[in-house]
């Protein structure tokens, strides 16, 4: 079995296996982001016996829990269905795929943990899984891992760049030393390509093999159709047409100047109360990232935002571009001028890069005084505004947040753009492509300032 693309879950799974007190693992995430492939590869490299069950393709295996959840009972029922199955204590892994099709499986994880003879990994698409139901099962006896489409670091790996190369980029950030012109040019080119194709593994694989965009758009279009079909299939308790309406209007609102999502403009006489739950469902399904407007730019972030004011971004920027009209797609692929879409593409990709580092998304907008900031993150004691510039424009809002004593939680800021690395005493300037290193940078800066 050949596994072309290196993923961050690879290192996580290795560390998980090395933990003598490891618990059954649930790997969850949006569909087609590479969960199954990565787990299959890990299992085959590390176990003598791999028992892989896909609850969608092998529906009869949902019945293996009918006689209860004791491990010996489950083994007996698996043997009835496949007498050739080998159960080797300490050298066998159960890989239960498409968990959403058999929620009963989650209850068995507690019993597998207490039994201790076998390792278990479950995988499932966020679409269709009732995680509230699953969370109530096997509490304390399982571990969760959320997987995403490929981030820019994984994209660099796919294109042959090493960990040493990435560590060198990080050292430039820490030491605030500019990158060489050649480095900038090459990395901006790779970043623009990453923005256009996104991080879905099949798309990236095609790009790497062909060394161009050939074939990538067709895959992206099919992914968009698959997501729409899944909305029809899995939405339960909500109006499917309304969920689809929200999903299909994301790019429309991102094209506007303020980019805020407004239910009232989706359809004639549309009301917020009629769409309650639609945005949450898409977010829980791993399809979108939601960015909430802060009440004030101050700490703490959680609880300090208006749940009615938000922007919606695609989880994968490549899918955002694939959702645009054909002329826009051709322009972006041919000219790579991402700024023509009012900065929406830059905001979308930066937001996604922040989420993949574990951040929640927040922005701020105020007319009096006039302040607009794209994103905020934090360290242990300060609020950090992040400005995303599609053009080399002014930084009035960033300067106001840094200079006004009313914003005492803001100690420094970050500006992302087509710029080299720099620091003017108030905010750092970084090229977009270094966004994937921000959490690492902020943690080190905080540690250094406190020592």
Confidence of residue 138 (pLDDT cuts 50, 70, 90): low
Give the pLDDT of residue 1: 46
Rounded to whole angstroms, how far apart are CA atoms 354 and 74? 41
User: Is 327's pLDDT higher than 80?
Assistant: no
Statement: residue 128 has pLDDT above 70? no
Who's near 162: CB < 8 A, 6+ residues apart? none
Mean pLDDT, residues 118-134 taken together: 75
Q: How confident is the model at residue 130 (pLDDT cuts 50, 70, 90)?
A: low
The mean per-residue pLDDT over the stretch 214-241 comes to 87
Cis-peptide, bond into residue 369, ω within 30° of zero: yes
| pLDDT tens digits along 389-442 | 877 767 899 999 999 999 999 999 999 999 999 999 999 999 999 999 999 999
pLDDT at position 235 is 83
Would you say 296 and 286 are in contact if contact means Cβ atoms under 8 Å apart?
A: no
pLDDT of residue 11: 97
The distance from CA 208 to its chain's CA centroid, rounded to whole angstroms, is 21
pLDDT band at 125 (very low <50, low <70, confident <90, very high): confident
Residue 342 in this model has a pLDDT that exceeds 80: no
Separation CA 322–CA 316 (nearest Å): 10
- Cis peptide leading into residue 245 (ω within 30°): no
Residue 178's pLDDT is what? 98
Question: pLDDT > 90: what percent of the chain?
Answer: 65
Percent of the chain with pLDDT over 70: 94
3-state DSSP helix/strand/coil percent for the chain, to nearest 5?
A: 45, 15, 35
Of 110-124, 241-255, 333-347, the range with the highest mean pLDDT is 110-124
Neighbours of 107 (CB within 10 A): 16
Residue 236 has pLDDT above 90, yes or no: no
């Amino acid at each position: 079995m050949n596994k072309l693309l290196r993923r961050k879950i690879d290192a996580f799974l290795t560390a998980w296996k090395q933990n003598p007190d490891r618990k059954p693992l649930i790997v969850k995430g949006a569909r087609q982001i590479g969960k199954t492939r990565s787990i299959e590869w890990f299992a085959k490299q590390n176990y003598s016996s791999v028992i892989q069950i896909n609850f969608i393709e092998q529906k009869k295996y949902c019945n293996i829990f009918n006689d209860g959840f004791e491990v010996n009972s489950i083994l007996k029922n698996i043997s009835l269905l496949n007498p050739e199955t080998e159960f080797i204590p300490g050298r066998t892994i159960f890989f239960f795929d498409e968990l959403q099709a058999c929620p009963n499986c989650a209850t068995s994880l507690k019993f597998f943990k207490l039994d201790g003879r076998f390792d278990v990994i479950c995988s499932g698409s966020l679409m269709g899984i009732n995680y509230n139901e699953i969370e109530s099962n096997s509490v304390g006896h399982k571990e969760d891992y959320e997987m995403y489409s490929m981030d820019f670091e994984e994209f660099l790996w796919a294109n042959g760049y090493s960990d040493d190369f990435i560590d060198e980029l990080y050292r430039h950030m820490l030491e605030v030393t500019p990158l060489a012109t050649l480095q900038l040019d090459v990395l901006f080119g790779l970043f623009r390509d990453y923005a256009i194709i996104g991080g879905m593994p099949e798309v990236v694989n095609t790009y790497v093999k062909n060394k161009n965009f050939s074939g990538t758009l067709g895959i992206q279009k099919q992914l968009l159709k698959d997501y729409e079909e899944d909305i029809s299939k899995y939405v339960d308790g909500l109006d499917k047409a309304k969920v689809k309406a929200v999903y299909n209007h994301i790019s429309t609102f991102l094209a506007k100047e303020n980019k805020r999502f407004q239910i009232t403009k989706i359809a004639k006489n549309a009301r917020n109360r009629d769409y309650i739950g639609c945005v949450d469902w898409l977010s829980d399904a791993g399809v979108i990232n939601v960015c909430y407007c802060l009440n004030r730019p101050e700490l703490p972030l959680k609880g300090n935002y208006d749940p009615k004011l938000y922007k919606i971004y695609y989880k994968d920027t490549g899918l955002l571009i694939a959702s645009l009209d054909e002329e826009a797609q051709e322009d972006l692929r041919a000219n790579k001028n991402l700024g023509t879409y009012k900065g929406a593409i830059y905001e979308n990709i930066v937001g996604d890069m922040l989420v993949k580092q574990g951040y929640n998304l927040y922005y701020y907008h105020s007319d009096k005084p006039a302040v607009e900031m794209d994103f905020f993150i934090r360290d242990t004691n300060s609020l950090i505004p992040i400005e995303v510039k599609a053009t080399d424009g002014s930084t009035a809002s960033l300067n106001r947040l840094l200079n006004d004593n009313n914003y005492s939680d803001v100690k420094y800021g970050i500006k992302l753009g087509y710029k080299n690395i720099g620091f003017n005493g108030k905010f750092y300037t970084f090229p977009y492509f270094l966004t994937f290193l921000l959490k690492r940078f902020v943690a080190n800066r905080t540690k250094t300032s406190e020592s």
